[in-house]
Structures are given as C-alpha cells and as structure tokens.
Amino acid sequence: MNTTLSTSAATEEQFGRLVAARLSAGAQDLPHEFSERLRAARTQAVARRKVVRVLQTAPAVVSNGSTAALGGGWWTRIGSIVPLIALVAGLIVITTLQEDSRTNELAEVDAALLTDDLPPAAYTDPGFAQFLKSEGTAAQH
C-alpha cells in the first residue's frame, strides 16, 4: 500500500516540476514587474503547499492481507448498521400507530351505531358513516 502512495507522490512531484519548468520558460519574455509578481506568487504557493501537506489526514483504506478494507473495524460496521435498525424500528412504530388510529376510528363508528336508536334505513345510507365521523369529532372538541 505504501508503494502506491509513494508512486503517486512521485508522479505528482514530477508533474509539478514539469509545470514549473513550462511556466519558467514562458516567463522569461515578460517585463520585470510581471516577473516579480510571478516570483512572489510562486513563493506563496510553495508556502501553502507545505502547510497543506502537514494537514493531510491518513488514508481511510487499510491493507488487510491481499485485500483492502475501510478502516475502523467493528465500530465502523456497527455505526453503519445502527441507522438502518433505527429506520426499521421507526417504520414499525409508525405502522403500528396508524393501525391503532384506524382501529379506534372504526370502534367509534361501531359504538355509535350500537348505542344510538336509528331506523334500519339509516344504516344503509352511504353518507351515514361520514355523519358519524363528523359527529364524533364535533363531540370531542
């Protein structure tokens, strides 16, 4: 794994040198004022590059024999499973609450039908269930 990182760093370094040589070759024909501004910009860029190299983090890929795996071990696996478990538990709770709500609505309608004195024709009216629901919500408020 380290050989891949060192090869990548060497390739970056070589590319940087080629770009710097190309820029230096083109800068020889520029006036003195522009050359000084470019020199100052290069100095700042090199200073920033050193700071960035210090702040880089370690890679998240860990060598695991002949394979590569994400670092972190069991904690990473547990951390990725916990949100899934929470999601499934939340869906189960929501489903249960909705089923209880529907059951309570039907029980209220049945209770209203059984406790009220109505003619038999009222039970066959298609708007009767809606009437009971609206009466039930009005009585609760």
Rounded distance between C-alpha atoms, residue 94 and residue 111, angstroms: 26
Length of the chain: 141
Q: What is the pLDDT of residue 85?
A: 94
Return the H-helix or E-strand segment holding 12: helix 2-27
The residue from 71, 98, 130 where one domain ends is 71
What single DSSP character describes residue 60?
S
List, in sequence order, every residue forming a beta bridge with 63; answer none if it has no partner: 68
What does each of the 141 residues of the chain score in pLDDT, given as a tens digit? 455 556 777 888 888 888 878 877 777 777 888 778 888 887 887 777 766 555 555 555 555 566 655 556 677 778 889 999 999 999 999 999 999 999 999 998 888 878 877 777 777 787 877 877 777 666 665
Q: What is the pLDDT of residue 107?
A: 92
pTM of model > 0.75: no
The residue from 51, 71, 91 where one domain ends is 71
Domain region containing 90: 73-141
Q: Mark 19-36 as b/e (b = at least 16 C-beta within 10 Å).
A: eeeeeeeeeeeeeeeeee
The number of distinct structural domains making up the chain is 2
Question: Is the four-CA dihedral 28, 32, 38, 42 of positive or negative sign?
Answer: positive
- Residues 59, 77: one domain? no
Tell which residue, 41, 51, 48, has the closest CA to residue 20: 41
Q: What is the pLDDT of residue 135?
A: 73
- Residues 3, 67: one domain? yes
